[in-house]
């Protein structure tokens, strides 16, 4: 009975992951499709040519590069800013905490089309040229709230006694923070960063308004879809997450190797 | 001296992030606010304290407001039920591979929304395996379909916000010391009791966060209804989208936005009250 | 009345298309030679082209050499004039693009583009003229304007073509799968009331297309919209929506549905059908018996753009051999007289395809939507209500 129950959870988790990847498997499959026309909607035959020529569409690689750069930059900045806010909100009681809470929630409630358009109004009024920079600003903007909410969930459950213990043992506040607190809330910060990355790389509406003439990957795909859905898009999408997952795998294996080789470190 | 320096710390921590929000969010919201109280036809809008815009907007689009709340609520509930066991598994059984699984959870986002949805349209096609099986089993009528129904729209919303539920849940669950659960069991609690009395309450901050991060953006969603629904499934997000871009009635779009934002905030406050905010937002 | 492209046709076209892509041959044929940038003067007055010309267009709306990943017509232009063309494919929806540029334009700021392309049936080119947000063409720099198809020469919203020049056109008609429908579809009435098609029909989110086609089915004239005729069309469509006859209103995402058989018939654009037929030769497209719609994507010069540069670019694309080159890839409807003659020699199946070079009979049955009605806020609100927004 315990066997079943123990493995029930694993089976469930496996099913959940399968569900998550069901459309992705279709995307991967269709990256090998060989349509005669420009649409990639129905299966027409197997080919390797999309994979041998993934950047066959002019503009696709440039758009991808822009999206990845913005995703990295905006998720890092938003994670830093958001973590600081979360720390302030959870650890301290101060006047204006309610207003700050509100200010964190309201951007999430704003429909994308008006957020994008009103931000554009700001840039136009202040004569800020639209392009890479304004996209970055917009992405950091909407990512902050998501980071705050995620990191806060971690901080709320954090056991302050550990910090007290460290201070009792002579560590000052900064050392306590960096050696005790930060490592323990790191999973929360990492999760928030991942979420911000995902939000940024998939954003369309807000990016559209504030991109000027810069083109990101989602903008390219949405734009092209009016006349074509080249299989190369599927190839690129598949490739990105294969690379990401391989990178993560390599990192984990590397850590394991180090842990086995290295002596016990404190 | 020390006291004053200490008192300044929260403000220093807040400063950079809040400054960013103040400049790039509050100022645009100010413009939006002025527009919501204006009247006129594109491109000449005159500010005139037109409070009527708000009442007009509510009465004209009541159905869509309510529908958005329903769809977002159902999607959030389903997402919670689907995500909790997954997050639990990653947190307690993931071991060294935790981060890999987290990455797997958001990996679908690397393939753009449109391509993911086209894939779902292929899977749920009227002539596809899924629909034919459901028709055979009797869940769908002989002419039944999945696409262009409210089921499809809700499923689309759920699927696309799943990572927003999984990640905060994980963040909270991962922090729970497994020994607490062991201790409960040592004290003769059954597995179910240990879960209900120890794990679940400790994971509430994650549940709260996940529900927020899913419900709030889902309520304003438009794209799932547009691609997967009929006009009878359209949400308030679609209305705002079309009033803004197609009709170019900016005052209506602006007032609809503010009503939506206010409605969501009210719901969030009620939800927080029910769960008990103090526990969820302020540390021990 | 639709032509069907077989796989061989398409392959042959692709091969022929690449033959056309030998630029020196083209230039030699039309007597041009490389001139230096500074002294290019097609107008008599010594005007200079700027070093960079920025041209915004819809994606995949210009010829592409998939091996070299370039746009041969632009490469030829750049070589001929010695300037650089920054070609952006960032227009994917008329209203969205307009929403993006109206801010700067309303404040008198330039949008950093010399040439943009917008659809007449969105009402936006006409609107921009009214708002004074477009520059007039430098006709002296566009002698090839004489190659403009006669039927395109006097649109109601720009009667003397002072601000615009067509890039491509498209027809809106009925696309359907004869196997699933169980026969041929001839009129829009079929779509709206045939019980066999219930839940298997889509219409378009473009007001001009959906309302226009319905007005024609009602026997009314879409180029002269009145409240009565508009409301009649809305009512008819509303009935079909409420009964579930119409499954969805779509942009061009009807294409995957038709391809997979989730819908049997729909309002469809001619250019899409060309692509769908490549993989599904059984699909058909017809102009409805009561009439269909025609729309045109127009090249426009936004305020602040370089008029001479933009006009020179326009003139280039009105050379029949260049237009043929673009047409061979894009496969919508060519506005340039003489392009079909060029293609008859190099790619005859394109030249003979009535979806790309419609016959006079087809052109007689397609209509344009009343440009004034396009910008009527009441009409737009009513239509948005119908389609769910």
In a domain, B11, yes or no: no
Residues C159 and C201 in one domain: no
In a domain, B136, yes or no: yes
Q: Write the residue in B18, B27, B31 that is nearest to A100 by C-beta.
A: B18
Residues C138 and C206 in one domain: no
In a domain, A8, yes or no: no
> Residues A69-128: pLDDT tens digits?
999 999 999 999 999 999 999 888 888 888 888 899 899 999 888 899 899 989 988 988
| Contact status, residue B210 vs residue B162, Cβ threshold 8 Å | no
In a domain, B166, yes or no: yes
In a domain, C349, yes or no: no
pLDDT of res. A240: 84
For residue C317, what are the β-bridge partners?
none
The strand pair at C246-250 and B44-47 is best described as unpaired
In a domain, B222, yes or no: yes
Q: Which CATH number do you get for residue C340?
A: 3.40.190.10
Q: What domain range is A137 assigned to? A: 58-229
Q: Which two tokens stand for residue B84?
A: 């909790």
Q: What domain range is B76 assigned to? A: 71-235
Mean local confidence (pLDDT), B140-165:
90
> Residues B205-254: pLDDT tens digits?
999 999 999 999 999 999 899 989 999 999 999 999 899 888 989 999 99
Residues C314 and C252 in one domain: no
Residues of A with CB under 8 A from a CB of C: 35-39, 41-42, 44, 55-59, 117, 120-121, 124-125, 127, 129, 208-209, 211-213, 215, 219-220, 222-228
Mutation test of the interface with chain A: which of B17, B123, B162, choosing the one with the most A Cβ atoms within 10 A? Answer: B17
Residues C141 and C213 in one domain: no
Closest among A190, A92, A160 to B167, alpha carbons compared: A190
Closest among A114, A106, A73 to A209, alpha carbons compared: A114
Residues C120 and C146 in one domain: yes
Mean local confidence (pLDDT), B158-178:
92
Q: How confident is the model at residue B284 (pLDDT cuts 50, 70, 90)?
A: very low
Mean local confidence (pLDDT), A25-31:
91
- Rounded-to-5 percentages of helix, strand, coil across chain B: 80, 5, 20
In a domain, C14, yes or no: no
Q: How confident is the model at residue B276 (pLDDT cuts 50, 70, 90)?
A: confident
Average model confidence (pLDDT) for chain C?
85
Closest residue in B to A219 (Cα–Cα): B112
State yes or no: pLDDT of C3 exceeds 50: no
> Residues A31-47: pLDDT tens digits?
999 888 788 888 888 99
**3 state SS of A109:** helix
Residues C375 and C332 in one domain: no
Q: How confident is the model at residue C8 (pLDDT cuts 50, 70, 90)?
A: very low
In a domain, A175, yes or no: yes
Closest residue in B to A40 (Cα–Cα): B118
d(Cα C340, Cα C331) in Å, to the nearest integer? Answer: 12
Residues C35 and C151 in one domain: yes
Q: How confident is the model at residue A262 (pLDDT cuts 50, 70, 90)?
A: low
In a domain, C128, yes or no: yes
Chain B residues close to A235, C-beta within 8 Å: none
Q: How confident is the model at residue C45 (pLDDT cuts 50, 70, 90)?
A: very low
In a domain, C321, yes or no: yes
In a domain, A80, yes or no: yes
In a domain, A90, yes or no: yes
Subunits in contact with chain A (3 or more CB pairs closer than 8 Å): B, C
User: Which of C 362-381 lie inside 8 A of B, CB atoms?
Assistant: 377, 380-381
In a domain, B99, yes or no: yes
Residues C210 and C104 in one domain: no
Q: How confident is the model at residue A263 (pLDDT cuts 50, 70, 90)?
A: low
**B178 to chain C, closest Cα gap in Å:** 50
Q: How confident is the model at residue A140 (pLDDT cuts 50, 70, 90)?
A: very high
Instruction: Say how far residue C106 (Cα) sits from the centre of its chain.
Output: 26
Mean local confidence (pLDDT), C41-64:
78
Contact yes or no for A213 and C255 at CB 8 A: no
Could you say which DSSP state residue B175 is in? T
Q: How confident is the model at residue C54 (pLDDT cuts 50, 70, 90)?
A: very high
HEC string of chain C?
A: CCCCCCHHHHHHHHHHHHHHCCHHHHHHHCCCCCCCCCCCCCCCCCCCCCCEEEEECCCCCCCCECCCCECHHHHHHHHHHCCEEEEECCCCCHHHHHHHHHHHHHCCCCCCCCEEEEEHHHCHHHHHHHHCCECCCCHHHCHHHHHECHHHCCCCCCCCCCCEEEEEEEEEEEEECHHHHCCCCCCHHHHHHCHHHCCCEEEECCHHHHHHHHHHHCCCCCCCCCHHHHHHHHHHHHHHHHCCCEEEEECCCHHHHHHHCCCCEEEEEHHHHHHHHHHCCCCEEECCCCCEEEEEEEEECECCCCHHHHHHHHHHHCCHHHHHHHHHHHCCECCECCHHHHHHHHCHHHHHCCCCCCCHHHHHCEECCCHHHHCCHHHHHHHHHHHCC
Residues C336 and C195 in one domain: no
Q: How confident is the model at residue B2 (pLDDT cuts 50, 70, 90)?
A: low
Mutation test of the interface with chain A: which of C58, C89, C97, choosing the one with the most A Cβ atoms within 10 A? Answer: C89
DSSP assignment of A16-34: HHHHHHHHHHHHHHHTTB-
State yes or no: pLDDT of A64 exceeds 70: yes
In a domain, A11, yes or no: no
Q: Is B120 on the interface with C (CB under 8 A)?
A: no
The strand pair at C292-300 and C366-367 is best described as parallel
Q: Is A158 on the interface with B (CB under 8 A)?
A: yes
A-B Cβ pairs (cutoff 8 Å, strict): 301
State yes or no: pLDDT of C319 exceeds 80: yes
State yes or no: pLDDT of B97 exceeds 90: no
d(Cα C358, Cα C333) in Å, to the nearest integer? Answer: 8
> Residues C88-128: pLDDT tens digits?
888 878 998 998 899 889 988 889 999 999 999 999 999 99
> How many domains are there within chain B?
1
Residues C182 and C241 in one domain: yes
Question: ipTM of the assembly?
Answer: 0.86
In a domain, C130, yes or no: yes
> How many domains are there within chain C?
2
> Residues C333-382: pLDDT tens digits?
999 999 989 988 988 888 888 888 888 888 889 999 998 899 898 999 99
Q: What domain range is C102 assigned to? A: 19-168+297-344
**B95 to chain A, closest Cα gap in Å:** 11
In a domain, C74, yes or no: yes
Mutation test of the interface with chain B: which of A40, A110, A122, A237, choosing the one with the most B Cβ atoms within 10 A? Answer: A110
Lowest mean pLDDT among A82-96, A191-205, C44-58: C44-58
> How many domains are there within chain A?
1
In a domain, A114, yes or no: yes
pLDDT of res. C35: 39
Residues C260 and C330 in one domain: no
Q: Which CATH number do you get for residue A89?
A: 1.10.3720.10
Q: Write the residue in B41, B43, B243 that is nearest to C389 by C-beta.
A: B243
Phi, psi for C116 (deg, rounded to 5): -130, 165
State yes or no: pLDDT of C10 exceeds 70: no
User: Which of A 15-34 lie inside 8 A of B, CB atoms?
Assistant: 16-17, 19-24, 26-27, 30
d(Cα B17, Cα A140) in Å, to the nearest integer? Answer: 10
Q: Which two tokens stand for residue C150?
A: 């006669």
| Contact status, residue A162 vs residue A179, Cβ threshold 8 Å | no
In a domain, C2, yes or no: no
Q: Is C130 on the interface with B (CB under 8 A)?
A: no
In a domain, B85, yes or no: yes
Q: Which CATH number do you get for residue B192?
A: 1.10.3720.10
| Contact status, residue A148 vs residue A117, Cβ threshold 8 Å | no
Chain A residues close to B244, C-beta within 8 Å: 113-114, 117
pLDDT of res. A2: 66
In a domain, C353, yes or no: no
Chain A residues close to C277, C-beta within 8 Å: 37
pLDDT of res. B75: 96
Chain C residues close to A57, C-beta within 8 Å: 64, 66, 69
Closest among B189, B29, B164, B173 to B89, alpha carbons compared: B173
């Amino acid at each position: 009975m315990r066997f079943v129950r123990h493995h029930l959870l694993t089976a469930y988790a496996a099913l959940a992951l399968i569900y998550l990847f069901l459309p992705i498997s279709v995307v991967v499959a269709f990256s090998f499709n060989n349509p005669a026309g420009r649409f990639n909607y129905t299966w027409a035959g197997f080919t390797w040519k999309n994979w041998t020529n993934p950047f066959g569409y002019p503009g696709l690689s440039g758009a991808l590069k822009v999206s990845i750069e913005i995703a990295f930059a905006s998720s890092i900045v938003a994670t830093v800013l958001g973590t600081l806010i979360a720390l302030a909100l959870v650890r301290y009681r101060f006047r204006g905490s309610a207003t700050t809470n509100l200010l964190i929630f309201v951007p999430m409630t704003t429909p994308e089309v008006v957020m994008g358009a009103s931000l554009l109004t700001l840039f136009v009024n202040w004569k800020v040229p639209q392009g890479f920079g304004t996209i970055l600003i917009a992405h950091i903007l909407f990512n902050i709230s998501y980071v705050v909410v995620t990191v806060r969930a971690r901080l709320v459950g954090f056991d302050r006694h550990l910090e007290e213990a460290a201070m009792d043992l002579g560590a000052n506040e900064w050392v306590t923070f960096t050696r005790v607190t930060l490592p323990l809330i790191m999973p929360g910060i990492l999760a928030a960063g991942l979420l911000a990355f995902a939000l940024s790389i998939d954003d369309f509406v807000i990016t559209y308004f504030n991109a000027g003439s810069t083109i990101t990957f989602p903008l390219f795909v949405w734009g092209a879809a009016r006349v074509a859905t080249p299989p190369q898009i599927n190839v690129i999408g598949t490739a990105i997450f294969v690379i990401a997952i391989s990178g993560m795998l390599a990192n984990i294996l590397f850590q394991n190797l180090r842990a086995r080789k290295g002596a016990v470190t404190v | 001296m020390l006291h004053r320096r200490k008192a300044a710390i929260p403000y220093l921590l807040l400063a950079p992030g809040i400054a960013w929000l103040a400049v790039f969010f509050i100022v645009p919201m100010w413009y939006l606010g002025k527009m919501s109280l204006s009247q006129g036809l594109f491109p000449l809008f005159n500010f005139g304290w037109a409070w009527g815009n708000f009442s007009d907007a509510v009465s004209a689009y009541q159905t869509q407001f309510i529908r958005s709340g329903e769809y977002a609520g159902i999607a959030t509930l389903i997402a919670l039920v689907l995500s909790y066991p997954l997050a639990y598994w990653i947190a307690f059984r993931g071991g060294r591979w935790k981060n890999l699984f987290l990455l797997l959870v958001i990996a679908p986002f690397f393939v753009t929304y449109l391509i993911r949805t086209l894939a779902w349209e292929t899977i749920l096609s009227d002539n596809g395996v899924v629909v034919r099986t459901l028709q055979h089993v009797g869940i769908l009528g002989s002419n039944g379909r999945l696409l262009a129904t409210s089921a499809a729209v809700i499923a689309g919303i759920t699927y696309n916000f799943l990572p927003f539920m999984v990640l905060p849940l994980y963040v909270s669950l991962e922090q729970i010391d497994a020994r607490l659960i062991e201790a409960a069991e040592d004290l003769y609690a059954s597995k179910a009791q240990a879960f209900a009395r120890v794990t679940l309450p400790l994971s509430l901050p994650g549940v709260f966060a996940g529900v927020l991060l899913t419900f709030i953006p889902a309520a304003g969603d438009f794209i799932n209804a547009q691609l997967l629904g009929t006009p009878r499934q359209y949400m308030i997000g679609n209305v705002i989208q079309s009033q803004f871009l197609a009709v170019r009635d900016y005052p209506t779009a602006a007032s609809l936005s503010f009503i939506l934002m206010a409605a969501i905030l009210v719901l969030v406050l009620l939800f927080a009250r029910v769960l008990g905010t103090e526990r969820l937002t302020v540390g021990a | 009345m639709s032509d069907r492209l077989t796989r061989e046709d398409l392959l042959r076209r692709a091969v022929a298309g690449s033959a056309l892509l030998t630029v020196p041959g083209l230039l030699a044929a039309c007597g041009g030679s490389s001139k230096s940038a500074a002294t290019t003067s097609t107008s008599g007055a010594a005007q200079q082209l700027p070093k960079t010309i920025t041209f915004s267009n819809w994606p995949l709306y210009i010829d592409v050499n998939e091996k070299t990943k370039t746009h041969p017509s632009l490469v030829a232009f750049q070589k001929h004039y010695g300037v650089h063309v920054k070609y952006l494919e960032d227009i994917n929806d008329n209203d969205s693009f307009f929403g993006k540029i109206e801010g700067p334009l309303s404040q008198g700021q330039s949008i950093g583009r010399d040439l943009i392309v917008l659809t007449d049936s969105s009402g936006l080119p006409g609107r921009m003229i009214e708002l004074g947000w477009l520059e007039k063409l430098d006709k002296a720099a566009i002698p090839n304007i004489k190659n403009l198809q006669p039927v395109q020469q006097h649109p109601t919203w720009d009667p003397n073509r002072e601000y615009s020049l067509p890039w491509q056109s498209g027809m809106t008609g009925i696309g359907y799968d004869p196997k699933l429908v169980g026969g041929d579809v001839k009129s829009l009435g079929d779509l709206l009331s045939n019980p066999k098609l219930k839940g298997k029909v889509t219409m378009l989110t473009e007001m001009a297309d959906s309302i226009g086609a319905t007005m024609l089915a009602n026997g009314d004239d879409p180029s002269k919209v009145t409240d009565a005729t508009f409301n009649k069309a809305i009512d008819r469509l509303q009935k079909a929506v409420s009964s579930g006859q119409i499954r969805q209103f779509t942009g061009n995402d009807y294409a995957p549905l038709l391809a997979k058989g989730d819908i049997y018939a729909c309002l469809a654009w001619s250019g899409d059908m060309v692509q769908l037929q490549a993989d599904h030769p059984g699909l058909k497209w017809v102009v409805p018996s009561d009439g269909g719609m025609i729309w045109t994507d127009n090249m426009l010069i936004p305020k602040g753009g370089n008029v001479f540069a933009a006009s020179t670019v326009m003139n280039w694309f009105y050379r029949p051999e260049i237009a043929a080159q673009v047409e061979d890839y894009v496969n919508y409807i060519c506005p340039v007289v003489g392009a079909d003659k060029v293609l008859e020699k190099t790619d005859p199946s394109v030249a003979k395809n009535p979806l790309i070079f419609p016959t006079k009979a087809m052109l007689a049955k397609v209509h344009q939507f009343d440009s004034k009605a396009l910008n009527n806020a009441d009409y737009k609100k009513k239509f948005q209500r119908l389609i769910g927004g």
